[in-house]
Structures are given as C-alpha cells and as structure tokens.
Chains A and B, each alone.
Chain A
Amino acid sequence: MKILQARIYGFGKWVDYEIDFSKHSFITIFGHNESGKSTLQRFLQFMLFGLPPKQRKYYQPKDSSKMGGRLFILDTEIGEYSIERIGDANNGAAKCFTPDGKEYDESWLKERLHSIDEKTYRAIFSFSAMDLNDLQDVKEEEISEVLLGIGLSGSTKIYSVEKRLEQQIGEFFKPYGKNPIINQQLQTLERLQREIKELKEEEAEYREKKNAIHRIKGDITLLEKTIKEEKERQFQLEKLIQAFPQIEEYIGLQNRLKELPEEFYFPEDGMERIESLKRELIPLESEIKLAIRNREIFQKEMEKLEGQNSEISFIEAKKIITQSNEYQDMEKEKKVVRERVDQLHREIRSKLSNLNLGLEMEQLSHYQLPFHLEKDWNHYRISIESITREMRQIKENTQLQQAKLERITEELSRVESSQLTADKRSELEGILELHHESQLLEIVQKEHYHKQEKWKKTKLQKRKRLNALWIGSLFLGVVTAALSFITDQFWLINISVLSLIVGLLQWFLGVKSIQNMDKMLEPNTTTPFRTISVEERRSAESLLLQEQEILREKELLQDKLLDTEIQLQQLTEKQVVIENQQDELMERIALEKTKYPFLEHVDLNYWPELYHTLKGILDQIKQIDELYNQDRDISQKLDVYHNLLDKFIEKHYPSSNFKSYISKLEFLGNEISAYQDREQQIQQLKIRLQDIENQVQEKTISYELVEERIISLFSKANAKDEEEFYKRYREWKEQTELLESCRRIATQISSYFTSEKWNNIIENPPSRSKVELELKECVQLIKHLEEELGQKRQQLANLTVELQNLEKSESYSKTIHVFQMEKERLHKLARKWAVLKTAKELLSETKHQYRDKYLTRVLEKTTQYFRNLTDHQYVQVFSPTADKPFMVENSNKIRFSVKELSQGTINQLYVSLRLAISEVMSEKFHLPFIIDDAFVHFDKLRNKRMLEILESISKNHQILFFTCKQDVLEEIPIQNLVHLTNHIPLVENKW
C-alpha cells in the first residue's frame, strides 16, 4: 500500500493543504519544531483509522469550520482509491471512493487495512524518539524481555503479564508446595478423607455391635434359664430337708400296710348298703302277709254267691222272657188278620151284585179262569170283525176286474185290423238286401288295385338281385377255374362248378316265384248287378218300421188280458177260504158258552171286560183263604209258648200260684234281675282277688331281689355270711385309714416333689447330711450365675447405648457432605488455576511460536541493520535464550549482553530491531512506515548510515520520514524532500 496524496480540508493548523507522496517511496518531511509535523502524522492516522470525538474536537482548526480531508491510496490489489473523513459527519466515519465511482464505508476500509488498528499500526509501523525515551525507564535486566516484547507485538506488556500470571499460579498451586491455596485444600481433603475412613469404620462397627447384642441377648436367656433351674433344685433340696419327719412317718405307715392282705376289696359303702337293704325287707314281709289274709276272705264270699246262683236255670228263664215279646206281637197279628177277612167278604158281595149275573160267591169259586182265556175271548171278538171286513173287500175287487177285462178285449180287436199282409212285407225286405250287397263289392275292388301296384315295385327289385347273384357265382366259377389251371390245383375246379350250379339254381327259383305272384294278383273281372233307387229304398224302410210297431202293441194287449183273468180267479178262491174261517170260529164260541153258562147273556164284545171283573173277585177269594191259614198258624204258636211257661213255673216254683200269664212273666223278670246282681258281685270279687294275687307276687319278687343283693354284697366282700362280712369290714376300715395317712403325707409334699421323685426318696431315703451339702453347693452356684448375668446385662446396656449413639451420630454423614463441598472448592480453585495456567501457557507458547516464526528473520535484519549502523563494529545479534538475554557480538568475536552496552548502542539496537520488525511485518501487510526523528541522538555519520538503510528499505516500502534536523537534509535528494513551513502554499512541490 502506498499513500499517494493527502488533501487536508482542515485539521489542526492545517487548512486546505495538499501534500503529494507519490513521487518517491522514501519521502522525507522536514519541518522545524511546531511546524506541524506531528499534526500531519496525526492527520494520516486519522484518515486511516479515525479518531475518537474528543480528539476530533482537539484537531478542529481554530480559523476554519472545515475539519477533515481526503487521502489518496494506491492498493496493490484494487488500484487507486481515496478515503474521505469530514469532521463529525457520520461520527467521523470514512467514505471510500474507488476509480470506478463506487463508494464504500469504514468496514470496507478496515478490510483493506487487514483489520490493523491504530494502536497496532503505531506499534509496528511507526516509531519515534519518544519510544526510545520509554526505553530509559526499563530496568537493565528487563531490557532483553522488553526488546523481545517489542519484537513480538510492539507491546511491552507481555513480559509483565507473564510474570504476573506466573505469580498468581504460584499462589494457587505448586506441585510440591504446602502453602498455596490448592495445596492447602488438598491437605484439608486428605484430612477429611482420613476422617471419613475412620468414621466409616466406626459405622461399620454397627454390624459387629448388632451381632454382639444378639449374642449377649442369647447368653442372657441361657443364663436366666440355668439360674431358674438351679433355684428349682435349691427349693427341692430345702423341701427335702423339711420333709424328713414326714418321710419317716410315711415309711412306718407303709410297713404296717404291708402286714395287711395285699389284695383287698371291700364294696363301696358296704355297711350302709347292707343296713338299708335290711330295712327294705321288713315292710315287704308284712305286706305279703296282709294280702294273703284278704285273699281268703274274698274267696269265701264268692263261694257263697256262686252257690245261690247255681240253684236257678238262668238260661231257660231268660229264653222265656225273651220270647214273651214275640208272643205279644202274635196276639196283635191274629186280630189284624180277622179284621181283613171280614172286609174282603164285603167287597166281593158288592161286586157280584153289580154284575148282576146271578152269580154267588160260592158258585164263582168253582170256576177256573185260565190265563189264556182273556186272550181267547179277545181274539174271538177281533176275528169276527176282520172276517166281515174282508168279505166286503173281495166283493168290490171282483166287480172292478170284470170291467177291465171287457175294455182290453175291445182294444185287441182294433189292433188286429190294422196289420200288413205277409207278401207285402217279404217284398220290402228283398229290396233292402239287394242294396246292401252292391256296397260290399265296391270296397273289395279298391283293395285289390292297391296290392297290384305294390307288387310291381317288389318284382323289379327281386329281378335285379337275382341277376347280381347269378353274375357273382359265374365270376367265382371262372376265377376258380382259372386259378386251378394256373396252380394245377384241380380240386378248385370242383368249387368253380359248384358255384355255377348254385348260381343257376338260385336264379331259376327266383323267376318262378315271381311268376306265381303275378298270377295271384291278376285283376278279377267284376260282375255287374242291379241297382236300387234311393226313394224305393226309403219307402220300404218306413213301411217295415210301422209294421213292427203294430206287432209290439198287439202283444202288449194280449198280456194284459191274461193278467186280469188271473186276478179274477184269485179273488174267488179267497172268498171261499174266509167263509170257512167264519164257520170254525162260530163253533168255538159256542163251545165257550157251554163251558161258562153265564156268557149266554153277554155280548161277545163285553167278554174281555167281564173277564177282568171276575178275575178280581177270584183273587180276593183267594186272599181270604190265605188269611185263614195265617190265623191258624199263629194260634198254634201261642199254644206252644203257653205250655212252655207253665211247665217252667211248675218245675222251679211249684208252690206258686199265678192266675195270668202276665203275672207269671213279671215274677220271672224279677228272678232274672236278682240273679244278674249276684253275678255282678262275683265278677267284682274276682277282680279284687286277681289284684291281691298280683300284689303278693310283686312283693315276693321284690323280697327276693333284695335278698339277692344282700348275698351279692357278701360275695363281693368275699364273705360267706353276715358275720364274716362284718369282719371284712373292720379290716378294710383299717387299711383305708392307713392309706389315707400315706396320701395325706403325699399330698403335703406333692407340691414339692413329683410322684416319681417321691417314690425314689421312699425307696432310697437320702441321708440328711448329704442333702444339706448339696444345698450349700447349689446356693453358691446360683450366686455365681447371678453375678454373671448382671455383667452381661451391663454389657448389653452399654452396647445398646453405643448402638443408639451410632444411630444418632451424624458425623459420618456430615463429613461426607463437608468432604464433597471441599472437593467442590478444590474443583473451583483448580479451575481458576487452570484458567491462569492456560493463560500463561497460551502466552508463553504463543510467544515462543511467534519468536520461532519471526524472530530469526527479525534478528537477521536486525543484525544487518545493527552492523551497518555501528559500521561493522558489532557484527552479530543473538536472540535471547531461556537464561540469556539479547547478546551482541563485536568484530572481535566478543559477546556482550544488552545491559553491558552504552545507551547509544542500545538505541541503535532498538532502532535496528524496530526497523527489522517493521520490515518483517510489512512483508505481510505492506503498510507505509512513519518514522518521526527516531535518530535524534545519532551523529551525522550514523544518520547517514541510517538513511542508507531507510533508502534500501524504501525499495519495498513507502517511508514517510519526519525530521527537524538540518544535517539530515544534506543527505537527502531534494526531490524526496518535503518542507513544512508556516507559510507553505496549498500546493507545493510542483516538480
């Protein structure tokens, strides 16, 4: 990049000023102090990078309102363009104009300047005498670093920053330190970690403690059990000692018991039971005796009553009394019968008088009226009536038939007169027959014709067939003949001849049959016959029909006449039969009248009624007879009864004298009731006797039962009699008392000893002294065990407390939280440290890389410039190493460190370094150098050398060199020089 021209509209003291830098790439701008050199530099910077508002205000010209200007630039990439900034317009922002007329803004410009800002630009591309003054302040040992810093970024801060960071890092952490924060934190963590471990172990004891508690609890249970057992034993022993007197007594009792029979049984409450049974026997005995006495009394009484009753025949008397009722009924019946007889007599007499036939009852009773009589009499009456009626009817019919006969005869004669003659009829019949024959002949002819036609066709076919057959056989014959000749098989000739013969025969037979058929069907010649006209035929037919009709009528009439005659004959016969019947009947009536003379005076018609009346009377007479019989029977029975009664009375009560049957019966009734009373008394006595008998039996059984029980008691007690029983009782009582005493003692000690143990004691009675010794030992053991139990309980209590404390303790929990928090703190600190460390490392590494990248070349250039400037007094510059700062080597190969150099030489080195840096840097950026009297302390010679160097640099870079030194001008070609004066015209250097 090259600055071509600067046009100032107004900036500081410069108003409407234009300056051209395009002619040469190394331009020296000369001006005295206060000639506006710095302002111009500022202007250039303003144009390129802008200025803050305050600075802009500072450079506002006093005598002009204009502020700003335009800078013309030549860019290697895009060619010429201009930058314009005007005062506060757009806040001092730039406007860029390219040759193609386009306008760009600040950011475009920034891009063109490779984002280099004013500060960087000043650090790298511009330097002044002021920079060298700064150098004076730097401590000698730091010069190397400062120089490096300048060499790297133009900043002097790298060194101090790095130092500061390192210090901070050290405050935070040292790998082997103790005091830095992180190291201390690590120690804290270490401590906490240990604490946690301890606490954890402590908490781990929890499990052990729990187990211990469990174990101790088990021990305690066991101890408590043992103590309980031992105490039990102690108690037993004590009791044993107490029980010694009883034991002795018991043994004594047992010995006495042994004297008594071993197997002993006495019934339960035996004595009481015997006494009570005896008490039961006494009343039973007296009751039985009383009952027997009563039985005798009742028996006597009964015998007396039975004697009384045996005197009377009770059954007979009872029978008579029973029959007395029957007897009374009979008496009544007899009376009724007699009354009835009288009444019937009266009725018969009145009926007979009503008939008025002169018949008496006695007469009538002689007549028999058989059962058929009524029918007979009735039959006579009806027969007479029917005969009379039939006779009248026959008479009427005969008359009717005779009239009919006459009428038919008349009709017959009329029919006979209208009949045809026999000749006439035969003629008519001939005509009809002739007609019939002619019709038949016609039909036969038609049929014959049809058959002939059919035959003609058949014949033709037959002929053809015959011919074919013939030709076939002929052919066969010829062939076989030929074959026989060819083959010389002569038997084939036979076949040929045979076939020819067969063929010929067939043909002949065929022709013959055809001829026969022809003959048969020859048409027969028809014979002619006479024909009959139609009218003739019809009249003949009708006449014949009429004749037939008349014949039929005549036959009918003849039949009728015959019938009538027969009927007349029949009627006459019937009349004769009826007359005979009448005669016979009359004879029989007469017979009846002789049999029953009273009928003479009675018309036949009333006979049936008479029969009825007579029949009724006869029945009544019969009734009377029956009633008489009845009366007789009753009287007989009554007599028998009276006899019986009388006989009984006489037999049993001969002294008595009764007048009537009634009184007799009454007496008899009384006797019977007295008998019955006695009988009842006997029955009652019998019942009572039975009761007493039962009582006696019952009591006897009871008595026996009691006796049995007494005996069984005896046998149970193993006693034969009462005496022995009482003895057994005494023995039993003694044994019981002994056992009771033993039991009492056993009961007293049963609360202390089990039965088993007691038995043991009794069998082997222990010695008192031995027991006492044992007791003593036991008491001692208990005491010992109780002490142990107390200890265990204490242990348990302690452990429980410890466990509870553990459960309550939060120290582990708390410590892990603290630990975690402290860890976090460490983490934070470490992070802070990491940031510092990273920053530091970043800085130093960048620095190293930077140096590696540029320093070699910077040093080459520096050496070159430094050598030129010192006129080869110094020939080599060495970059600083880890422990060494910058070194320079003089022509005598002697090396000096920077601080050993004089100020002037340091200045030269510095300038060389700056130039070298700028040059190296601008290889990348190609920005113009702005140098402001950097060589103010240089003498003429050195200046000259300096200018030579600049001259050579300017081949690649534009250099704007501001100076106020007159002697410099001498070294500079005039065309490269710009004079700044207070009265410089707007446009200068027109050359």
Chain B
Amino acid sequence: MKKKISFIHAADLHLDSPFNGLSDLHETQFQEVRESTFKALENLVTTAIKREVDFIVLVGDLFDNDKQSLKAQIKLRNAFEKLQAHQIDVYVSYGNHDYTSGNIYPITYPENVHIFQDEQVRSFTYVKDNTPLAMIYGFSYENRAVIHNKAHEYKKGDATIPFHIAMLHGSIESNTDHDTYAPFQVGQLVQADFDYWALGHIHKREILKENPYIIYPGNIQGRNRKEIGPKGCYYVELTETQQLVEFVPLQAVQYHTLTVDLVDCDSIHQVEEILTNTLKKIPASVPQLLDVSIRGGTKLWEWKNDDVLDELIEIINESFSSQRNWLYIFRYSVIEGETVHQLEGDYFIGEIKNKLEEFTGGEHISEIYQHKEARKYLDHLDADELKEINKEAYELLIHKLFQE
C-alpha cells in the first residue's frame, strides 16, 4: 500500500492576545474580536477533524506569556481534548512568545499532545496501525530568545521511516523586519533533506520553497492592520512521490485595506454615498476591519479638519455594525491630498512650511508622549507617524488660517 500522511501545519496562534489599533468598537464587535483567536482555533480543530488528518503541528507562539490568560490555556486544552476524541495527535513546540520558563499555568494537556520540552532538537515518531510512519523534529524556546542558528542541529533519524517533518520557529538570517530568532538560511534547510519544513514566527504566510516545502503558514488570525487578508493554516498531504499543500483560511475577523477615490466629491453626502456603496461591495464571509485610504482634494481636508469626516465615518460604522458579517472602519487616512496651493505665495505660509521641516523630533508633543502617566500606555511614535501628524497639523493650520 502506498504510504501517506496528512497533517495540518499552523503557527503563531497568539491565543487571546489583544488586537492593536482598535478602539471604540461596538459591544458585539468587541466580543467577536475578542473571541476571534479562539474562533480561529475552533476552525482549525474543525478543519482537522473534517479532513481526518493524522496529526497537527503547532510551531510556536500559541499564546503570549506577557498577556497570557488562563482562558487561552483552557481553551487550548479543550481544543486538544476534542482532537484527542478524534484520534488526532498534536505536536507542539514553543516559540519566543510562549517560551517554557515563562508559562505560569500548570495546565495538563491530554495524551495526544506531544510537546518539545527544551531547546535540544528532539523527535517524536508518529505511529499509525503499528507502523512508524513519520518522525517529527523540533525544539522549544526555554527563554525569551534563541539567537543562534538551530538549522544545523536538525539531523534525520531512522531512515526506514518514510516521512520526516521538521518544526522550526525562527526567521531567515537576512530578514531584519522582525526580531531575528533562531536564524537560518533556506539553503541549510534544503540541505538537511527533510520532507517538510514547518516554520513559525513570521505572521505573513509565505512558501519559501517548494520540493521540499518550506512554509510559513502565517498566524491564524490577523491582529493588527498590517496582518491583512485571509489567515490560516496549511493542509499538507505527503506520499512517497507527491507533496500537496493547501491553504485553509481560519480567521474569524479579517483585516482589509481599501482605497476610495473621493476627488470628485463636492459634498459630504456624496462622500457618504460613495463610501457606503464601496463598503457594500466588499465580499465578506467574516466580519471585516477596514483600513481605508481616501484619495481626495482640498475639500476632503476641509472636511477632515472640520471633523465632518470623523462624524461621517462614525455614522457609516454604525450602519454596518448590525449585519452578521459587520464592517468597521477602524482607521482612515487621506492620501495624496492636494494642499491649498493657491496660498503658496503667502509669505507666512512659506515660513510655516520651512518651520515644519524642523519639526522632526517630536519634542513639541513630548508633553504627552513623555508624560509620567501617559507614556506607560503610549507607544513611541516613529518617524512616519510624526510625519503624518505634521502633515495633518499643517493642513489643519492652513485650513484654520485661511479657509474658515
């Protein structure tokens, strides 16, 4: 008989970790957002059961130690128990967010869960019908970081076993966008000759290589405005001759970005009409969190500076909040705004512009960002954000000085 295994590869569940960039949500929306990571986990379990997979590999960051809730642990245990009822094994390695020394809850997982306990690369053997079918390799972060290359520690075991799957929570050496943990090079992974590399840590899904597959499945639920679109896991089927991978979306709430052109709008009502129509056209199978970029002219800036736009967005959010797959504009930004160029000749405006160039360090707003209380809760502003603030301030000032 042809030997075959099927499994699900997921990582970065970040159960019960709060979302970034959301405020003033409607109560039901808030509930749904709050439950979204669990809902995604539930979807994962359902998928595994429906597809009758042999096992699941979870490659680190199942939850965040920093904001770890007991609920996350309990839900996870319940999920594992449900999988146990369907004879689905789970292989878990911990990552930089759920490192073992930081786990404060003594939850006992059921016996179908196999955990890589330490930083030594070890392996489990998956046995089906008394035949060893696969070996699963991996390690867990014992502390907040693993900074050395672990790739070369992966050594293939019993060669008579048909499938070898490696779990690695880390990032490519050259990737400096994220914290570089357990850095590796794709070449090193290829050389190690495994049948599948189940990676974790990077939230954006990516197939680094085919044959063998080296895959970041991404996180299962987007949690900030940069984690847009469908999020989920990979369904993998390995035979001795073939490799099949399929992305399965699991997200309960989806981040979505869109750009709306409002250049030709003369009145705020037109803006409302266009925005509403655009939103209605969004195909939504799950609730959507929208990050809207608005392209518009001077008028738009005027509306914005007069807070009319804010009010409009609030109204629109209200109107879309009651439907099953609700929509919510959590952020909007005006792009390519044409400034009031006819005022450029103004002597004073010229001076303002020059002055603006000097406003880069954010010292003038340190009153709040360095405030003893406030700075505990406020993130440090980066250059881009400062730039945006400056631009808005400039627009506001011009508007106040000359438009009103």
How far is B344's CA from A117's CA once the two chains are assembled, in angstroms? 8
Write out, one digit per residue, whether chain B residues 342-377 have a CB within 8 A of any chain A CB (1) or not (0). Answer: 111111100110111001000011011101011011
Q: Verify if B315 is at the interface (C-beta below 8 Å from A).
A: no
Q: Please, which residue of chain B has its CB at the minimum distance from the CB of A837?
A: B365
Output the least CB separation between B165 and chain A (Å): 33
Return the chain B residue nearest A819 by Cβ: B18
Is B19 positioned at the interface, with any CB of A under 8 Å from its CB? yes
How many angstroms between the C-alpha atoms of A173 and B370 in the bound complex? 13
Encode A834-866 as 1/0 by CB contact (under 8 A) with B. 111111011101100110010000000000000
Cβ-defined contact, A161 with B355, below 8 A? no
A812 at the interface (CB under 8 A from B): yes
Cα-based distance from A824 to B400 in the complex (angstroms):
27
Check B397 against A206 for contact (C-beta < 8 Å).
no
B355 pairs with A845, CB closer than 8 A: yes
Binds B, one of A339-347, A592-600, A825-833: A825-833
- Bound-state CA distance A833–B367 (Å) is 10
Most buried by A among B106, B343, B377: B377
Give min CB distance, B7 to chain A, whole Å: 29
Question: CA A210 – CA B106 in complex, angstroms?
Answer: 8
A812-B70 contact in complex given A207-B104, A842-B352, C-beta closer than 8 Å: yes
Interface centre among A173, A203, A813, A826 (most CB of B within 10 A): A813
- Tell me if A830 and B351 are in contact (CB < 8 A): no
Binds B, one of A150-158, A380-388, A500-508, A729-737: A150-158
Q: Is A115 a contact partner of B69 (Cβ separation < 8 A)?
A: no
Q: CA A916 – CA B86 in complex, angstroms?
A: 90
Interface residues of B in 176-198 (CB under 8 A from A): none
Within the complex, the shortest CB–CB distance from B400 to chain A, in Å, comes to 4
Asked if B377 contacts A186 (CB within 8 A), the reply is yes
Question: How close is B255's CB to chain A, nearest CB, in angstroms?
Answer: 14
Q: For the complex, give the distance between the alpha carbons of A124 and B401 in Å.
A: 16
Residue on B nearest A158 in the bound complex, by CB: B401
A821 in contact with B25 (CB, 8 Å): yes
Pick from A161, A204, A810: contact of B401, CB under 8 Å: A161
Asked if B396 and A826 make an inter-chain contact with CB atoms under 8 angstroms apart, the answer reads: no
Contacting A116 at CB < 8 Å: which of B345, B373, B402? B345
Within 8 Å CB of B394, what residues of A? Answer: 839, 842
Kindly state whether residue A175 has any CB partner on chain B within 8 Å. yes
CB of A349 closer than 8 Å to a CB of B: no
* Structural contact, B69 and A839, CB atoms closer than 8 A: no
Which residue on chain B has the smallest CB distance to residue A207?
Answer: B106
| Interface secondary structure of B, over-half rule | helix
A838 to B396 Cα, complex, angstroms: 10
Enumerate A858-892 residues with CB–CB distance to B below 8 Å. none
Do the beta carbons of B74 and A153 come within 8 Å of each other? no
B393 and A838 contact, CB distance less than 8 A = yes
Task: For A841, give the chain B residue with the smallest CB separation.
Answer: B364
Whether, in the assembled complex, B280 has its beta carbon less than 8 Å from a beta carbon of chain A, the answer is no
| A321, CB-defined interface residue at 8 Å | no
Q: Are A835 and B21 in contact (CB under 8 A)?
A: no
Among residues of A, the one whose C-beta sits closest to the C-beta of B363 is A841
| A810 contact from B23, B71, B344, B352, Cβ within 8 A | B71
- For residue A814, CB closer than 8 A to chain B, the reply is yes
Known contacts A120-B346, A820-B18; is-contact A850 B367 (Cβ 8 Å): no
Q: Tell me how far the C-beta of A496 lies from the nearest C-beta in chain B, rounded to whole angstroms.
A: 111
Question: In the complex, how many residues of chain A place their beta carbon closer than 8 angstroms to a beta carbon of chain B?
Answer: 66
- CB closest chain-A residue, reference B342: A117
Q: Within 8 Å of chain A (Cβ to Cβ): is B41?
A: no
Q: Closest chain B residue to A924 by CB distance?
A: B347
CB distance from B358 to the nearest CB of A (A): 8
Known: A173-B368, A842-B355, A846-B355. A155 touches B401 (CB 8 A): yes
Give min CB distance, A920 to chain B, whole Å.
10
Q: Beta-carbon contacts of B21-53 to A below 8 Å, as 1s and 0s?
A: 111110000100110000000000000000000
B307, chain A: closest CB distance, angstroms: 9
Are B18 and A821 in contact, with the CB atoms below 8 A? yes
**Contact yes or no, B365 A823, CB < 8 A:** no
B389 is an interface residue with CB less than 8 A from chain A? yes
Which chain A residue has the least Cβ–Cβ distance from B310? A832
Q: How many residue pairs bridge A and B at CB < 8 Å?
A: 174
Would you call B142 an interface residue if the criterion is a C-beta within 8 Å of the partner chain's C-beta atoms?
no
Q: Which residues of chain A are near B374, meaning CB under 8 Å?
A: 182, 186, 826, 830
A807 is contacted by which of B19, B74, B348, B389 (Cβ under 8 Å)? B74
> Is A806 an interface residue when CB atoms closer than 8 A count as contact?
yes
Question: Is A120 touching B345 in the complex (CB atoms < 8 A)?
Answer: yes
Residue of B nearest to A834 (CB): B365
CB distance from A302 to the nearest CB of B (A): 89
Residue A164 CB within 8 A of the other chain? yes
Distance in angstroms between the alpha carbons of A63 and B347 in the assembled complex: 40
A120 x B347 contact (CB < 8 A): yes
Please tell me if the beta carbons of B379 and A827 are within 8 angstroms of each other in the complex. Answer: yes
Q: How far is the CB of B170 from chain A (nearest CB, A)?
A: 27
Q: Is the CB of B346 within 8 A of A190?
A: no
Instruction: Across the interface, name the chain A residue whose C-beta is closest to B74.
Output: A807
> Does B392 reach chain A (CB closer than 8 Å)?
yes
A816 to B18 alpha-carbon distance, docked (Å): 7
Q: Does A189 contact B (CB under 8 A)?
A: yes
Partner of B69, one of A173, A816, A821, A850: A816
Q: Would A834 and B18 count as touching, CB distance under 8 A?
A: no
Q: Taking CB as reference atom, which chain B residue is nearest A162?
A: B400
Nearest to A838 among chain B residues (CB) is: B393
Known contacts A837-B364, A842-B397; decide if A824 and B21 are in contact (CB<8 Å).
yes
Which A residues touch B343, using CB under 8 A? 117, 119
B71 touches A824 (CB 8 A): no
A470-491, CB < 8 A from B: none
Whether A456 sits at the interface, judged by CB under 8 Å, is: no
* Distance from A833 Cβ to chain B, minimum over Cβ atoms (Å): 6
Q: Does A165 sit at the interface, judged by CB under 8 A?
A: yes
Instruction: Report the Cα distance A666→B23, complex, angstroms.
Output: 156
Q: Digit string of B375-404 for contact with A (CB within 8 Å is 1, else 0)?
A: 011110100010001101110110011101
Please indicate the chain A residues that have their CB under 8 angstroms from the CB of B105 in the complex. Answer: 203, 206-207
Residues in A whose Cβ lies below 8 Å from that of B402: 155, 157
**In the complex, A158 Cα to B400 Cα: how many Å?**
9
B1 → chain A closest CB, angstroms: 44
Q: Does A114 contact B (CB under 8 A)?
A: yes
* Chain B CB within 8 A of A809 CB: yes
User: Which residues of chain B from 49 to 78 have a CB within 8 Å of any chain A CB?
Assistant: 67, 69-72, 74
Q: How far is the CA of A164 from the CA of B399 in the complex (A)?
A: 13
Q: Tell yes or no: B16 within 8 A of A by CB.
A: yes
- Chain B residues positioned under 8 Å from A114 (CB to CB): 345
B400 and A115 form a contact (CB under 8 A): no
**A945, B352: Cα distance in complex, Å:** 37
What 1/0 mask marks residues of chain B from 76 to 115 whose CB sits below 8 Å from any chain A CB? 0000000000000000000000000000111000000000
A921 interface residue per 8 A CB criterion: yes
> Which 8 interchain pairs have the tightest Cβ spacing?
A820-B18, A838-B393, A153-B348, A115-B345, A825-B23, A824-B23, A839-B393, A813-B69
6 contacts between A and B (CB under 8 A): A206-B105, A807-B74, A813-B34, A821-B19, A824-B20, A849-B355
* Residues of A bordering B, CB below 8 Å: 113-117, 119-120, 124, 152-153, 155, 157-158, 161, 164-165, 173, 175, 182, 186, 189-190, 193, 203-204, 206-207, 210, 806-807, 809-810, 812-814, 816-828, 830-831, 833-839, 841-843, 845-846, 849-850, 853, 921
- Given A120-B347, A157-B402, A186-B373, 11 extra CB contacts under 8 A: A165-B400, A812-B69, A817-B30, A831-B385, A834-B381, A839-B393, A839-B396, A842-B356, A843-B352, A846-B351, A850-B348
